[in-house]
């Protein structure tokens, strides 16, 4: 067996690699092929990018799964998973038979949420739009749930079959893989009861139609991001379809 570096520009970088391989052969008594394989494997691990699930995505997915877990009990697994749109662009988080649902989750002391587009709080056609607001806080030892635990709980509730396959596809679409589980080590519980708001009339939001008709410059503002603080804002009595979604705690 022969290992050759033919590009002079790589001599300096290849030297430590070849030394590590030689040490495994001479000092550890490894076969040359095994030494090369192990050295390259260790190099790959060294260069591997550490995957993490950002805190923002963790909290957001936790909130959506609370809604999904509650809906499974009232709609059944098939309809609940089908209603969850996940990361589908330009869509609200859940599309039920007669209404849409946008889910917002915060770990702050105020019920304040980021709105990330002109249309996020804009009803689709004549379909009513509801906003579900979760406030989470870090739980003590033995209480609350880790995000991976909540995922497993919803997995069990969904079961196998087509609904299970669709659920796994939604998780992949939002960027989740079970390899990320060790990076999500915060236990979450509800800081306050989850609330629902029907988004209509004077609900606090920014829309293009809400600005003066003569503001022609809005055509040059394709994106917008702002916060809505619902602390103390009067919530609505939820429709029957949303009651289980507000009550679900993750178990």
Verify that 25 and 107 share a domain, yes or no: no
Helix or strand run (H / E) with residue 94: strand 94-95
Residues 43 and 151 in one domain: no
Confirm whether 1 is domain-assigned.
Answer: no
Residue 45: its pLDDT value, please?
62
Whether 20 and 113 share a structural domain: no
Q: Are residues 240 and 153 in the same domain?
A: yes
Residue 233: partners with Cβ closer than 8 Å, 6 or more residues away: 111, 197, 204
Q: What is the pLDDT of residue 47?
A: 63
Claim to verify: residue 143 and residue 177 sit in the same structural domain:
yes
Q: What is the pLDDT of residue 14?
A: 82
Element (H, E) at 14: helix 11-26
Same domain, 187 and 241: yes
Per-chain mean pLDDT for the chain: 89
229, 137: one domain = yes
| Contact in structure between 179 and 215 (CB atoms under 8 Å) | no
pLDDT of residue 152 exceeding 70, the answer is yes
Question: Domain for residue 227, yes or no?
Answer: yes
Within-domain flag for 14 = yes
Lookup: tokens for 149: 């635990």
* Residues in contact with 92: Cβ distance below 8 Å, sequence separation at least 6, in sequence order: 85, 100, 101, 102, 120, 124, 129
211 in a structural domain: yes
84 lies in some domain: yes
Could you tell me if 144 and 200 lie in one domain? Answer: yes
In this predicted structure, what is the pLDDT of residue 207?
A: 85
How many of the other CB atoms lie within 10 Å of CB of 224?
15
Least confident piece of the model among 1-15, 36-50, 56-70: 36-50
84 & 16 share domain: no
In this model, does residue 33 exceed pLDDT 90?
A: no
Co-location of 137 and 163 in the same domain: yes
DSSP for 72-91?
HHHH-HHHHHHHB-TT-TTS
Query: What total number of domains does the chain contain?
Result: 2
Same domain, 62 and 81: yes
β-strands 129-138, 188-198: how paired? antiparallel
Q: Does the residue 2 lie in any domain?
A: no
Total Cβ atoms within 10 A of residue 127: 13
Query: Does residue 202 belong to any structural domain of this protein?
Result: yes
What's the domain range around 25? 8-47
Does residue 100 sit in the same domain as residue 182? yes
The pLDDT value given to residue 165: 92
The listed range with the strongest mean pLDDT (34-38, 139-143, 188-192) is: 188-192
Percent of the chain with pLDDT over 90: 57
Average pLDDT of 14-36? 86
**Does a structural domain hold residue 85?**
yes
Buried/exposed code over 82-108 (b: 16+ C-beta within 10 A; e: otherwise): bbbbbeeeeebbbbbeebbbbbbbbbe
């Amino acid at each position: 067996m022969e290992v050759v570096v033919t590009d002079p520009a790589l001599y300096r970088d290849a030297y430590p690699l070849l030394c590590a391989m030689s040490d495994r052969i001479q000092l550890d008594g490894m076969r040359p092929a095994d030494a090369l394989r192990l050295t390259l494997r260790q190099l790959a691990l060294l260069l591997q990018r550490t995957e993490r699930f950002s805190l923002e995505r963790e909290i957001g997915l936790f909130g959506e799964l609370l809604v999904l877990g509650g809906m499974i009990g009232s709609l059944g697994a098939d309809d609940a998973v089908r209603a969850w749109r996940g990361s589908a662009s330009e869509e609200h988080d859940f599309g039920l038979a007669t209404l849409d649902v946008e889910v917002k989750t915060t770990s702050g002391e105020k019920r304040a949420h980021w709105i990330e587009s002109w249309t996020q709080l804009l009803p689709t056609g004549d379909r009513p739009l509801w906003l579900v607001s979760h406030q989470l806080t870090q739980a003590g030892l033995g209480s609350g749930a880790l995000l991976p635990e909540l995922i497993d709980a919803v997995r069990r509730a969904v079961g196998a079959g087509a609904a299970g396959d669709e659920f796994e596809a939604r998780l992949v679409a939002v960027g989740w893989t079970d390899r990320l589980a060790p990076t999500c080590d915060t236990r979450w519980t509800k800081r306050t009861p989850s609330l629902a708001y029907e988004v209509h009339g004077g609900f606090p939001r920014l829309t293009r139609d809400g600005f003066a008709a003569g503001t022609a410059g809005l055509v040059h503002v394709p994106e917008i991001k702002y916060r809505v603080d619902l602390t103390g804002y009067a919530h609505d009595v939820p429709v029957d379809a949303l009651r289980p979604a507000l009550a679900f705690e993750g178990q």
